[in-house]
Structure 1
Amino acid sequence: MDLHIQCKALTKYYSGIKALNGFDLELNVNQPIGIVGPNGAGKSTLFAILSGFIKPTSGEVRIMGATPNSPTIKGKLSLLPQDTAMFKGIDVFSQLKHYARLQNLNKQQAIKEVEHVLSLVQASSFAKQFPETLSFGQRKRVMLAQSLIGKPELILMDEPTSGLDPIAATEVRSLLRQLGNEYSVIISSHNLAEIEDICSDIVIMNKGKLVTHSSLSELTRSSQCFSLMLENTSDVHLSEVLKELSGISKIENDKNDMKSWLIYYDDSSAEQLQIKILTKLSEHNIAVSELKKGKALADEILEVIKNDN
Structure 2
Amino acid sequence: MLDLREITYQPQTGSEKILDDISFNVHENELILICGNSGAGKTTLLEIISGLTIPQKGSISWKNKTISARQRRWISGVVFQFPERYFLGTTVGKELKFGHKSLREKNIDIVLKKVGLSGINLAQAPEKLSGGQQRRLAVAVQLMRNPTILLLDEPTAGLDWSMKNDVKNLVHNLQNKNTIIIVTHEPSLFEGIPYKIITLEKGKIKKLMKEHYGG
1:107 to 94, 97, 103: 103
Q: Is it true that 1:51 corresponds to 2:50 in the alignment?
A: yes
CA distance in 2, matches of 1:118, 1:9: 35
Extract unaligned runs of 5+ from structure 2.
Answer: none
- Give per-residue Cα distances to partners, 1:7-42, cap 9 Å, x unaligned: 324232352132112222233243211111122211
Amino acid at match of 1:36: C
CA distance in 2, matches of 1:52, 1:131: 28
Considering Cα pairs closer than 8 Å and 6+ residues apart, tell me whether 1 or 2 has the greater RCO.
Answer: 2
Other-structure match for 1:192: 187
Q: Is it true that 1:18 corresponds to 2:12 in the alignment?
A: no
Q: Is it true that 1:201 corresponds to 2:196 in the alignment?
A: yes
Whether the 8 Å CA contact 2:7–2:57 is kept in 1: the answer is yes
- Give per-residue Cα distances to partners, 1:61-118, cap 9 Å, x unaligned: 3252311223xx5542111111221125x2111221234x26xxx433xx32221111
CA distance in 2, matches of 1:74, 1:208: 23
Other-structure match for 1:250: none
CA distance in 2, matches of 1:157, 1:87: 19
Other-structure match for 2:95: 95
Amino acid at match of 1:21: D
Other-structure match for 2:75: 76
Cα pair distance change 1:216/1:178, threshold 3 Å: same
Cα pair distance change 1:63/1:146, threshold 3 Å: farther
Residues 152-191 of structure 1 aligned to structure 2 (within 5 Å): 152-191=147-186
- Work out which of the two has the higher radius of gyration on C-alpha atoms and give 1 or 2: 1
CA distance in 1, matches of 2:23, 2:73: 24
Other-structure match for 1:130: 125
Other-structure match for 2:3: 5
With normalisation by structure 2, the TM-score equals 0.85
- Give per-residue Cα distances to partners, 1:200-229, cap 9 Å, x unaligned: 2111211101223222449x9xxxxxxxxx
CA drift at 1:44: 0.8
CA distance in 2, matches of 1:199, 1:80: 21
Residues 198-277 of structure 1 aligned to structure 2 (within 5 Å): 198-217=193-212
CA distance in 1, matches of 2:137, 2:6: 34
Amino acid at match of 1:82: Q
Whether the 8 Å CA contact 1:201–1:214 is kept in 2: the answer is yes
CA distance in 2, matches of 1:171, 1:23: 31
CA distance in 1, matches of 2:61, 2:124: 35
Whether the 8 Å CA contact 2:115–2:140 is kept in 1: the answer is yes
SS at match of 1:10: strand
Other-structure match for 2:111: 117
CA distance in 2, matches of 1:116, 1:152: 14
1:149 to 140, 144, 153: 144
Whether the 8 Å CA contact 1:34–1:199 is kept in 2: the answer is no
Other-structure match for 2:60: 62
CA distance in 1, matches of 2:152, 2:47: 11
| Percentage of pairs with the same residue | 27
CA distance in 2, matches of 1:25, 1:215: 11
Extract unaligned runs of 5+ from structure 1.
Answer: 221-291, 293-309
CA drift at 1:142: 0.5
CA distance in 2, matches of 1:184, 1:119: 18
- Give per-residue Cα distances to partners, 1:138-187, cap 9 Å, x unaligned: 21111011122243211111111211111111122112112112211111
Cα pair distance change 1:215/1:148, threshold 3 Å: same
